[in-house]
Chain A
Amino acid sequence: MENRLRVLRAERAWSQQDLAGRLEVSRQSVNAIETGKYDPSLPLAFRIAELFDLPIEEIFVSPSRRSSKAI
């Protein structure tokens, strides 16, 4: 799933390891989410949203909305 995690992290000058520590997950998890190779569960997506103090949809791009835009 496309997302703005890398941008949000860069704005705060956090490394992947920093973000992983704040979310209590592995650095590999952060990397996999950032690169769109893994879609986080709803609880983890909420944790990410709460950490950045943003609604989920401002971090993760809805696949259905993305495809409807493409049409």
Chain B
Amino acid sequence: MPRTIAWKRYNRRVICLSLAYCAFLLPAVYGFKHQLVPHSLAYLVAVLPALPIIGIFGAIGRYLVEEQDEYVRMLVVRQILWASGLTLSFATIWGFLDNFGLVGHADGYWLIALWFIGLGIGSLVNKLTLGDGGC
């Protein structure tokens, strides 16, 4: 991906949000494991690690708005479409398999990991279909 100004800004935001994710997740895991979290704060502590992930989705949206290179923006939109299509397809198939008792129940947050893997697959598809222009 060309290192445009918008891309650099996006990277900075994602680094900050990733650090916030670690800062929220590690104490939450430790707190729940050792039963240190009071019941009144349990929902808040459990939801806090999700907020930086939501922030990353916001950062991606902001990047699309700020990116001045229309071709690069189109490449990222294609990546997002691949990621969303693959994730939703996988979730649909898994849901039916789960309903009929053929697979175990999976935690919902794995879909987020799958979506980010989908971004990588989208990038590969861009490269394969657009060659050098696919970055």
Measured CB to CB, the residues of A under 8 A from B are: 24-29, 31-33, 35, 37-38, 40-41, 44
Contacts and interface: CB of A to CB of B under 8 A. Distances in A.
Given A31-B132, A31-B133, A32-B130, A26 B72 contact: yes
A44 B130 CA distance: 20
Nearest to A32: B133
Interface residues of B, number: 14
B70 interface: yes
Contacts of A38: 71, 74, 130, 133
B130 A37 contact: yes
A57 to B, nearest CB: 21
Interface string B109-135: 000000000000000000000111111
